[in-house]
Structure 1
């Protein structure tokens, strides 16, 4: 028997040494083949993009489908000729197609309402820019003429800029034109690829929503076939926590951003009516910018404020001052009233870890990383907290955790780690 084998500790030492060697080889391979591995992962990611889009769409539409399914079940319960299993299948199928249809209609309405106004706003901005630039040049000339030293510095900067542009026109113009042409062709290909991925993604989302109950049951069977019940239960708890965190944070952020955008639009319209201003920045464009960047935690408000204020300043400086003051008040209302009411404490992270997660995942995944970085890190933080709690319990140091939560009480007492480890 292996339990009483005299060389048991030597066998364990050999296995551990072999594991260290294998792990070292893998790390060495990853470091020296990082470029190839990154390229291979990018190829796999691009190949699976329709499935990623479909999974994300299915996850977003799933709560709506559940609500619609309950509604259809209540209607079908009145029909006695249909068996219960058939009723559930009909309700599931009808809810999926209804949910997808409602989502696509909402997206279509948003596009036909907002996109034309955005295009009009951009065209209007381009038309206004020459007059605004002319006024800016005249203001600068007036300022420079009153200060000889500043005038000399500006003339030197103009000369350097002139030489730079001349050199660029003679040497780098052709290369820039080639780069622009290449970029345009790549952009067209990327656009059609995105449209194809979106179309396939919708189909994938429909299949996922129709099969979600079966897939969830299969995943649970696989999990409990691999791990013991205690470990499998812990993993399921983390899955439920991740689902709660992601759905609460992302859906809440989207709803919060829509409300903020609507309030911003109403505020800009009131400014236009009260002041009677003839030349103002498009209210729709400003509201869309503020709403989109408000989805990003922490940094989103600053980015949206700066971008919108810069655009408004070009058109109407008085409106820019009003917008800065109004947006500051709006964000205070959102941060202290709307946000907590809609989102609650869905992550449980401190401001430091929110900032850390945005910077980390934003650098890794761009805009998408800034959006999902907070819930991803919240799940990682929760897993580490559970592991630390179990380690303290195993080592008989639960009192340290009790004292920690006494000194730094959690925002949600019913979710304390102490309560969980004592279950």
Structure 2
């Protein structure tokens, strides 16, 4: 009888799996279309949840400090409204940091963009002067071009056509970008509002979730799910904190070295690289490319020196700072941090790099716990 039940159960699983594979192979595009529509519909709430999670890190810290206030006078009022005060302080602190970073970076980029035409003209004049001083070389180049039989009128007409078509496409792209920006702004505002509601009601939401979980699952399973969620929350919080610490250390290292070497844009470049390094691996590389472009407009030799400085500091960060701070904060060995970054980047790009490290950490801790349980049950102790 017991054997028949197991056979029926396995047969039912195989039938459901086969049916699922059939639907998946034949209607994959339709299924993905439905998922995409559902995702677009609930995206503001997903965004709100992410914002709430990030805000909860400083808000939780501030709330604990506020709860330590006196029970008399204004301290009593602060303790009573500690949640709301901590949310407001955290929100404006993060917005203030973004505004401060923008006020340092944006004006310097605009200034550099303004001097680009002048720099280009100077480079052109220098090249022309060099050509004039080397008449034999310049005449050889002119003769070579003339002997190639190039139809310059045809090239000019094609270039003009491409430019005009490009202007039309650019105008259309600008309109589409403006529409997308407006839509993204509305979704972001909705996400922020939803995040504030989540943080304000997080205790009540947590109690309601626990009630649902214990009502519809066995106690042991509910306890296990809550333990995994708690571990995930701690891991993601530690990862974000560690990533910010690494960004701050990297920014300060660049600032000190660039000031000692009297490099231009020391403060702006330090802030730029530190801010972008929140994105693992790729962020600091983008910051380096932008910094080299900025410095080369002022002094090409110092741009080369900066590149050497960047490679040196990056080696220190990759081999010492990042694995030590981020790896230890998420409980993940250095080699698995590298694996997580690589797989995350290959799978989901920048978002994957950020998400995969804490995900790998949770999986690593759970697997390690299960391995030790199995070894204990078998009475094995492997060194």
Q: TM-score range by the shorter chain?
A: 0.7 to 0.9
Which position in structure 1 is the counterpart of 2:85? 94
Report the CA distance between 1:169 and its aligned residue: 3.9
Report the CA distance between 1:232 and its aligned residue: 3.0
TM-score scaled by structure 1? 0.73
Query: Greater CA deviation, 129-138 or 202-211?
Result: 129-138
Report the CA distance between 1:341 and its aligned residue: 6.5
Q: Partner of 1:46: helix, strand, or coil?
A: helix
Which position in structure 1 is the counterpart of 2:337? 354
Aligned partners of 2:40, 2:232: CA distance in 1, in Å?
25
Which position in structure 2 is the counterpart of 1:70? 64
Report the CA distance between 1:373 and its aligned residue: 2.1
Q: Partner of 2:330: helix, strand, or coil?
A: coil
Task: Tell me: CA distance 1:267–1:371, structure 2 relative to 1, closer, same or farther (3 Å).
Answer: same
* Pairing partner for 2:113 from 119, 122, 142: 122
Which position in structure 2 is the counterpart of 1:46? 40
Task: Tell me: CA distance 1:39–1:161, structure 2 relative to 1, closer, same or farther (3 Å).
Answer: farther
Equivalence map 1:145-156=2 (5 Å):
none
Report the CA distance between 1:261 and its aligned residue: 2.2
Aligned length: 380
CA shift digits 1:107-129 (9 cap, x unpaired): 33333343233322333345424
TM-score scaled by structure 2? 0.80
Task: Tell me: CA distance 1:217–1:88, structure 2 relative to 1, closer, same or farther (3 Å).
Answer: farther
CA shift digits 1:156-215 (9 cap, x unpaired): 9x9999899669648766664454333222211121122222222221121111111122
Which position in structure 1 is the counterpart of 2:223? 233
Aligned partners of 2:262, 2:268: CA distance in 1, in Å?
15
Q: Partner of 2:93: helix, strand, or coil?
A: helix
Aligned partners of 2:247, 2:190: CA distance in 1, in Å?
28
In 2, are the aligned partners of 1:132 and 1:315 still within 8 Å (CA)? no
In 1, are the aligned partners of 2:69 and 2:75 still within 8 Å (CA)? no
In 2, are the aligned partners of 1:118 and 1:285 still within 8 Å (CA)? no
In 1, are the aligned partners of 2:274 and 2:284 still within 8 Å (CA)? no
> Cα RMSD (Å) of the superposition?
4.1
* Pairing partner for 2:53 from 45, 59, 65: 59
What are the ranges of 5 or more consecutive residues in structure 1 without an aligned counterpart?
1-5, 274-279, 407-423
* Pairing partner for 2:309 from 326, 329, 336: 326
Report the CA distance between 1:388 and its aligned residue: 4.5
Q: Partner of 2:94: helix, strand, or coil?
A: helix
In 1, are the aligned partners of 2:52 and 2:199 still within 8 Å (CA)? yes
Report the CA distance between 1:299 and its aligned residue: 4.8
Which position in structure 1 is the counterpart of 2:197? 207
Report the CA distance between 1:384 and its aligned residue: 3.7
Which position in structure 2 is the counterpart of 1:287? 270
Aligned partners of 1:41, 1:300: CA distance in 2, in Å?
30
